[in-house]
Amino acid sequence: MTSTRSRGRRPDVDRIAAVPDAVLAVLVRCGHLLCALPAAGVRRLLLADEVAPETYVGVPCVRAAGARFAVWELGALLGLPGPSASVILLDLQHGSTTVALALAAGPCLAVQDLVRSPALPGALFRDRRAAFTGVFPTWQARVPVSDAAFGLWIDPAALFRPEELTAAEAAGTAP
């Protein structure tokens, strides 16, 4: 008899969707890290070559689907600069408005359910500490990830400073 594990399947992964705490997430690489962002705020996923770079009053932007989005590099925000392969268009709450912006990241590996662990101690990070809301074991990922033991949950709403969200709002609403 052949076990499921020996055929390359991971039975625990198939059961994740049945767990009440599972959250639909977008998995992206950021250097050597595997990062998960809640899919609820994601408007669209694009390849980096599907957007046109531009600038609005000194703010780096991309044009996609006929609209302008202020863009930030996930790697730069995390102190891990590297090439971008994907662009995630996000809708984030800022005060009483919803701000559309773009987050450039490494390759998008999957959109799937993941179970989030408890929050991480903020002292683990130098900057943007509130954005790192937990970890998840990489065995939950439905794609092979051999160079990371765990992935980071990122809260996009806490990743950006208020002045960055204000700049994104201005760039997105300008003609």
Q: State pLDDT tens for residues 42-66.
A: 999 999 999 999 999 899 999 998 8
Please indicate, yes or no, if residue 114 is contained in any of the structural domains.
yes
Q: Which residue has the higher pLDDT, 80 or 87?
A: 87
> What whole-number distance in Å separates Cα of residue 169 and Cα of residue 174?
9
What is the structure's pLDDT at 86? 96
Structural domain for 86, as ranges: 23-120+137-173
pLDDT, the chain, mean:
82
> What whole-number distance in Å separates Cα of residue 170 and Cα of residue 58?
12
Is there a contact between 62 and 69 (Cβ–Cβ < 8 Å)?
yes
Hey, what are 142's tokens? 């439905």
- Whole-model pTM: value is 0.80
Hey, what are 86's tokens? 């994907």
Please indicate, yes or no, if residue 68 is contained in any of the structural domains.
yes
The number of domains in the chain is 1
